[in-house]
């Protein structure tokens, strides 16, 4: 049966599941290395998918019409997604107050 992804939440969930499968396949691997590889691939794909069209007057592509503008948008999204993550704050963060 063919699977169809409807939203970015579905895609994000699939990526998390891929990370979990990769970690299960290589229990000796550093989870940070797996995460870095997933992030590198996601960034690569995002940059590919956000190339501006050939119309230099395209209003939709204006905000991503240069490499620096695409990088700024990627940073904005990264910060938004990170801050909304359940894992953004950790009980072992060094800036967490302990009583």
Q: Is the pTM for the entire model greater than 0.85?
A: no
**Within-domain flag for 39:** yes
Rounded to the nearest 5°, which phi and psi values hold at 22?
-65, -40
Ranges of the chain with pLDDT below 70? 1-5, 98-99
Question: Do 15 and 40 lie in a common domain?
Answer: yes
Range of the structural domain that residue 41 is part of:
8-49
Question: Do 34 and 59 lie in a common domain?
Answer: no
pLDDT of the residue at 34? 97
Asked whether the beta carbons of 19 and 34 are under 8 A apart, the reply is yes
Question: Do 13 and 38 lie in a common domain?
Answer: yes
Asked whether the beta carbons of 70 and 64 are under 8 A apart, the reply is yes
Helix (H) or strand (E) holding 76: helix 67-83
């Amino acid at each position: 049966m063919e699977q169809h992804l409807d939203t970015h939440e579905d895609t994000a969930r699939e990526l998390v599941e891929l990370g979990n499968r990769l970690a299960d396949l290589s229990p000796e691997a550093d989870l940070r290395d797996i995460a870095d590889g997933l992030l590198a691939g996601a960034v690569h794909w995002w940059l590919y998918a956000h190339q501006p069209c050939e119309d230099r007057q395209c209003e939709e592509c204006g905000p991503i019409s240069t490499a620096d503008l695409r990088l700024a948008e990627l940073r904005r999204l990264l910060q938004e997604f990170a801050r909304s993550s359940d894992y953004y704050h950790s009980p072992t963060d060094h800036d967490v107050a302990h009583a």
